[in-house]
A = this chain, B = another copy of it.
Amino acid sequence: MADKYKHDFFNVSFPHEFVAVVEINRPEKLNAFKEIQWLNLQKIFDALSHDPDVRVVVLTAAGDRAFCSGLDVEAAAAGTLSTAHSDGARQANHMRRHIFEFQACITSIEKCEKPVIALLHGITFGLGIDISLACDIRLCTATTRFSVKEVDIGLAADIGTLTRLPHANVPMSWVKEVCLTAREFGGEEALRVGFVSGVVEGKEGLLKKGMEMARLLAGKSPVAVVGTKELLNYSRDHGVTEGLNYTAVWNAAYTQTADMKDAILAGLKKKKVTFAKL
């Protein structure tokens, strides 16, 4: 593994051509996050975004018990949040800087040019939900335990859940219910409302399914894949007129590629095609 992928609390591996697997690795704390972890997460996804040898990313977590149990509350209490400021305005300004930095780390997943598949097993609470919503595709097991937990620590979730969940196209009445009550929900419910697009039996099955999907994406034209992710994200945030115009400008450049001819031929001949690096 290149140095750029060696960071504490993460294992990054490349089990198949063009497929990167990022494993959150703090199982003894149920993969709870402290500051160094979100900073490292950003470094990893910034590197993956521009790495020509990577076309798809799988995000998973070590251990059997949890994808991520949320913020490491003890560490947070001892860290940034502990500094005293001379008045409420100054406290607010420091807090604002802190939230921006934290948000930017998680948003690096969304900004990563390549699609990211989240494999969610076990406890997926609080920050675990924020992280999964910055990913493109969410899969889970039947026994995954989800909770938008923040309200139970006196906090409106501020690292992405309250912003991205209404745009994940899951029903708003349900969104408000789970965000306001902090109640748990499982894999089947997550699938029914559309929070995940697939439920698999067991963590092993989940990894297998995730890797299959990743390998499928890795075999496709990286020009088409990168464009598809970007145009879907852009369109999510804009009206239809805006989205169509942006799409036209985008493809004015991105259709200038040998991949189109190669992909069509490959489809006709049922053969695998090798696309140039992006």
Interface residues of A (CB under 8 A from B): 50, 73, 77, 81, 86-93, 95-97, 99-100, 103, 107, 110, 113, 115, 136-138, 150-158, 160, 162-177, 179-183, 193-198, 213, 216-217, 220-221, 223-232, 235-241, 243-244, 246-264, 267, 275-278
Q: A153-B260, A253-B252, A255-B155 are in contact. Are A166 and B235 (CB under 8 A)?
A: yes
Residue in chain B with minimal CB distance to A248: B99
Shortest CB-to-CB span from A67 to chain B, Å, is 15
| Pairwise interchain contact A253-B89, C-beta atoms closer than 8 A | yes
| Pairwise interchain contact B246-A167, C-beta atoms closer than 8 A | no
Chain B neighbourhood of A91, CB < 8 A:
88, 256
| Pairwise interchain contact A99-B225, C-beta atoms closer than 8 A | no
| Pairwise interchain contact B151-A228, C-beta atoms closer than 8 A | yes
Chain B neighbourhood of A225, CB < 8 A:
151, 180
Chain B neighbourhood of A173, CB < 8 A:
136-138, 168, 194-197
Q: A73-B264, A93-B278 are in contact. Are A251 and B158 (CB under 8 A)?
A: yes
